[in-house]
Structure 1
């Protein structure tokens, strides 16, 4: 499979970086950051340690025409930064709804990157959603602040499985009507 670009997913500009579709050349930086236990432990799906081939499989899934999730890279090259400082996604749900997921490279934590990316994605609303949802682990209050800062409302507590932790983890769930 030789996919290089995604044609049905827009580039979304922010003040400091662009959200652009994933490309094969992102594999190295995705693997570098996703291999960091601090990143993996705050996600549901990134294993730690990261198995060989998992980054390539993620990129191929992210570029597939029949994917159920649109994935963007936070690319700071326009502002003189690196090609990848984080990843954000919208997973399609039923009834014009999506679930937002994101992670930011640890070196960029507490710099406003996540809030800017989430807000840009909400404002662009590339899947024409009526509602977006997001969940964060309860031991990650910084991600909860990102969501509330971007207008998401608290819905309730739940739990979900984290591959990196090999355990169910308590979550807070949020939604934003568009």
Structure 2
């Protein structure tokens, strides 16, 4: 398995954050995220947030092939944590889906277009005094970049996480060179708290 090379000393933006106490009107995009999208629960209480551009839903075993195809992309891999493999194989996709489906509570979800998984969004719950904060992360297949899909999914997931997990703060830690991800966060109402240097 390939390991991610050591990166250049480019600063990492950290963190963008969103407080549950912040008024939505302070965001230029507030009107579009005033309430959580429709949440449907199937027989297994699977999460399904139906949005205008996509559906954020629980992972299914049948998502493995599409995720293996889309995640096997250096342009995605270079912007994610070291645990994200490259090349990304069908075996990696199956292992990932198995792992996220076994977690309780469910915190990692598929971003789907026409019922095909084309990305992922989720958050990491913390413990002890940090239990009211989570780190959120996401990726989307390159053919779908620039369409507002992640911005919409991020707004919905932010609302979902706050309402279902009693959070007061959600933050993201994009690499400084990933300007598109920084813009997505800002459009979703996140505020730059700091830039960390190496």
User: TM-score w.r.t. structure 1 length?
Assistant: 0.76
Shift of the 51–28 alpha-carbon distance from structure 1 to 2, 3 Å rule, reads closer
CA RMSD of the aligned region, Å? 2.2
- In 1, the alpha carbon distance for the partners of 2:113 and 2:160 equals 18
Superposition pairs for residues 108-147 of structure 1, below 5 Å?
108-125=144-161, 126-147=164-185
Residues 2-54 of structure 1: CA deviation (Å, up to 9, x unaligned): xxx99455211211211101110000111111111111111113122235622
User: TM-score w.r.t. structure 2 length?
Assistant: 0.69
- In 2, the alpha carbon distance for the partners of 1:142 and 1:84 equals 21
- In 1, the alpha carbon distance for the partners of 2:88 and 2:109 equals 20
| 2:113 paired with 1:76 | yes
Structure 1: 4+ residue segments shifted above 3 A: 5-9
How far 1:135 sits from its partner (Å)? Answer: 0.8
Equivalent position SS for 1:116: helix
Report the equivalent of 2:80: 43
- How many residues align? The count is 151
Report the equivalent of 1:90: 123
Which of 2, 14, 19 is equivalent to 2:56? 19
Which of 100, 105, 110 is equivalent to 1:62? 100
Equivalent position SS for 1:89: strand
Does structure 2 retain, via aligned residues, the 8 Å contact 1:23–1:59? Answer: yes
Shift of the 144–51 alpha-carbon distance from structure 1 to 2, 3 Å rule, reads same
More helix by percentage: 2
Higher-RCO chain (CA-CA 8 Å, sequence separation at least 6): 2
